[in-house]
Structure 1
Amino acid sequence: MSDLARTLYSDLAGGDTDAHVHLSDRAFLDAIVEFESALVDAAAATGHLLPDVADAARAAVAAYDYDLVAIAEDSAAGGNPVIPMVKEIDTEGVHVGATSQDAVDTALVLCIRRAVDAMDIDGVIALLEALARDHRDTPIMGRTLGQQALPTTFGVIAAGWLGGVRDAATRLHDAAAALPVQYAGATGNLVATHPDGITIHDRLAADLGLADRPLVWHTNRLPLVTVGLAAAQLAGAVRKIAGDIVAYSATEIAELAEATPGGSSSMPHKANPAAAVACDGYARRTPGLAATLLDTLDCRWQRGTGSWHAEWQTLRDLFAATASAVSRIHTSLDGLRVHTDAMAARVTGTDTGHAGDITDLILDGDHHE
């Protein structure tokens, strides 16, 4: 349990921790070790390391067993965990031509890629598709600016939720797929492994399954900022659904209800939409974290002074919050009770326009002939 993200309660309260295990301190340091191992292989494959040196380096990295607390404490002196880790391995051929930022950035990329893959976004999309399809023609009173407006259908409302999540998910998956390896050396010119540096770089990218361009992004933080903003957009898309479910679940409206609502410590009559409320709470943290990422674009000279360091925790917190928001909206939607009689009772008029057709188009991915 201690190998989840940063705060045990927050991760466990999110429900599904599959993504969080890839965002923990241990996962981060494990990914640094993975980078060092893959770098030895890439340098050996391109002939930059002699076979006996490469074999010894591989063995040293494979046998390396770090102490998480000790590495954290030792990181204070140099400002990052790579320095004490490489010092402890202390073998020729390890960290060849690399700088600390190469290992840290690549480790973050690996953690983020795996966290995105572990989020049950497809499960949320499937629940929304079923909800929209089942209630294609269920009449409900539309509401705008807090007031009743004109009739629509609950199917088109659910389809709207679906469209937002699906679009945000596409952006997130695209941004994660584009995340690159980082290997450029002390000042970003691969001088330490010249003339093999670019060949090692591209082999390293291929071995880790990462993009090989941009070639150097030590001070071009757009790859991480782009994927972080995409995560915040997904969190915002599920938060919109959560807010609607909370509103539709209000006692005075009672058009929706979660399958397993939460109770109250002092008011036993309450049936709170607890999962939707929790989703809102997790998602509400993401705009501030995304703003911090935007601030890291101010990356001075050839190594960020504080801006780079601010990314490590911020990115993992952002993805952990997003993963928890996705998990909680999944719980909220799973078995969601749709009180069609309560919806119909408030409908004035019968014209729902092309709501059913719009629902079908959104379900079909907004395709048209």
Structure 2
Amino acid sequence: MTRSLYSDLAGESAAHRHLSDEAFLTGLLTVESALSVAAARAGALSDAEAATAVETIRNYHPDLEEISRQSAEGANPTIPVVKALKAIDPTGIHPGATSQDIIDTSLMLCLRDATGEIIAELGELADLLAELTRTHRDTPMMAHTLGQQAVPTTVGCITAGWLQAVLRSRAALQELRFEVSYGGAAGTMTATHPHGFAIQDALAAELGLHNSGLVWHSDRIPVTTIAAALATAAGAVRKIAGDVIFLSASEISELREAQPGGSSAMPHKANPAAAIACDGYARRVPGLLATLFDALDCRLQRGTGSWHAEWQTIRELAAATASAVGRCRRSIDGIVVDTDRMEQHLTGTDVGHAPEIADRVLELYEGK
């Protein structure tokens, strides 16, 4: 993946290491090795043939730049990898598969591991928000609707709303299934008939992936389902960041990040830098999501460009989501609540059911 100084310093996340080109290429080799083992378990290869293939793959060390260059010639990176491997072992490599099987399954490995990191960081964010909600369950402040002061609420009720969205988006990510792909040249598994479904089952088991028992070469819903869940998480933290930015404005000054950013020209400023970075990363996600939904138009038995558009897009979407979640956690960690300033803005004391609303979300959190 293309990286920048800003990305590395502002949005570094444990998820990123699973989304790089290096991770994707490693995934291709992992899938090829697992496929040879699966084919042997299904009876399509001998154990000796599979062992030779696994050893060949283990000793193969591709040059990323060279593979990238060769990928352009065949419109995907699997072709040069398989060509190089088959030059060494023509028998046990790539049994019955097509490039799409290897690429889609490698992407699923990358996304599964990256999503696990995002889930963990959302859990850390939820812990911070729950503590903030408990501490300020009864702390009164003014609510705002349509950008204007409305009626009193509590800080805990506001942060409980943030927590609620984080819990829901995290749960959606936890429910995702990352599917193995094995269908062969045109999705009929002809080359390994009658062992095709047995290979599919064994490959999923070898890699720890879900197997629907279906071929999804031109059904891209497994990809858009993951993308939509990631985008929802990005949207959840972007909402939090937006509220922090608004409530940190000089005219309001009810919240302040523990480590605010400065200004190169205005030293008096204390910018909510982490929230701003979160907002910036999350704003990239809807456009990336739109590209993936556009790729649902996967023509005939293999997409002509639509499938190819997914490989980088889904990884960039996951990386942007991870960065947004990480920056949101940083923003909330140690955030300062200025209760004196909030009291100055109050126009009343009736907060209705606000504390009880906070309690209900905390119950949801405690049962997570």
Structure 2 letter corresponding to 1:307: S
TM-score (norm 2): 0.96
Native 8 Å contact 1:361 1:367 kept in 2? no
Deviations 1:72-104 (A, max 9, x none): 000011000000001111112110000000000
Residue type of the partner of 1:173?
Q
Alignment of 1:334-349 (within 5 A): 334-349=333-348
Aligned residue for 2:39? 43
TM-score (norm 1): 0.96
After TM superposition, give the deviation of residue 7 of structure 1 in Å.
1.3
Distance 1:17 1:365 in 2: 27
Gaps spanning 5+ residues in structure 1: where?
none
1:73 and 2:73 correspond:
no
SS in 1 for 2:152: strand
Q: Does 1:304 align with 2:309?
A: no
**How much does 1:239 deviate?**
0.3
C-alpha separation in 2, matches of 1:242 and 1:17: 17
Indicate how the Cα distance of structure 1 residues 40 and 85 shifts in structure 2: closer, same or farther if over 3 A, else same. same
Distance in 2 (CA, whole Å) between partners of 1:169 and 1:13 is 25
| Residue among 10, 14, 21 paired with 1:14 | 10
CA separation in 2, counterparts of 1:88 and 1:8? 32
Residue 33 (1) aligns with residue 19 (2): no
Show the counterpart of 1:148: 149
Does structure 1 residue 318 correspond to structure 2 residue 317?
yes
Q: Decide which moves more: 141-150 or 275-284.
A: 141-150
Please list, as runs of the form range in 1=range in 2, the aligned pairs for 1:108-257 lying within 5 A after superposition. 108-119=107-118, 120-175=121-176, 178-257=177-256
| 2:271 alignment counterpart | 272
Q: CA deviation at 1:58?
A: 1.2
- The offset of 1:214, in angstroms, is 4.8
* Deviation (angstroms), 1:131: 0.8
Distance (Å, rounded) in 2 between the aligned partners of 1:266 and 1:222: 48
1:122-152 deviation digits (Å, cap 9, x = unpaired): 1111111111111000000111111111100
SS for the counterpart of 2:158 is: helix
Q: What is the distance in 1 between the residues matched to 2:320 and 2:239? A: 15
Count of residue pairs the alignment pairs up = 362
Q: Aligned equivalents of 2:196 and 2:365: distance in 1?
A: 46
Does the 8 A contact of 1:180 with 1:214 survive in 2?
no
Distance, in Å, in 1 between the alignment partners of 2:6 and 2:197 is: 42
1:186 aligned counterpart, secondary structure: coil
1:365 Cα deviation from its structure 2 partner: 1.2
Question: How many Å separate the matches in 1 of 2:280 and 2:47?
Answer: 53
Structure 2: state its 5+ residue gaps. none
Contact preservation (8 Å) 1:11, 1:20 = no
**Alpha-carbon deviations, 1:326-351, whole Å to 9, x = none?**
01001100000000111112111111
Shift of 1:366: 8.4
Q: Distance in 1 between matches of 2:366 and 2:331?
A: 29
In structure 1, how many angstroms separate the alpha carbons of the residues matched to 2:125 and 2:159?
12
Matched, 1:291 2:290: yes
Shift in Å, 1:52? 2.2
| Cα distance, 1:206 vs structure 2 | 1.1
Which residue number in structure 1 is paired with residue 281 of structure 2? 282
Q: Confirm or deny: 8 A CA contact 1:14 1:325 kept in the other structure.
A: no
CA contact (8 A) 1:83 1:100 kept: yes
What residue in structure 2 maps to residue 101 of structure 1? 100
Runs (4+) of structure 1 moved beyond 4 Å? none
In 2 relative to 1, CA 337–320 (structure 1 residues): closer, same or farther, beyond 3 Å?
same
Identity among equivalent pairs (%): 54
User: Which residue identity lines up with residue 293 of structure 2 in the other structure?
Assistant: L
Cα offset, 1:36, TM superposition: 0.3
Secondary structure, counterpart of 1:215 in structure 2: coil
**1:80-95 pair list within 5 angstroms:** 80-90=76-86, 91=89, 92-95=91-94
Distance 1:151 1:200 in 2: 62
C-alpha offsets along residues 210-238 of structure 1, whole Å, 9 cap, x if unaligned?
11115100000001101101111110100
- Whole-angstrom distance in 2 between the partners of 1:205 and 1:367: 34
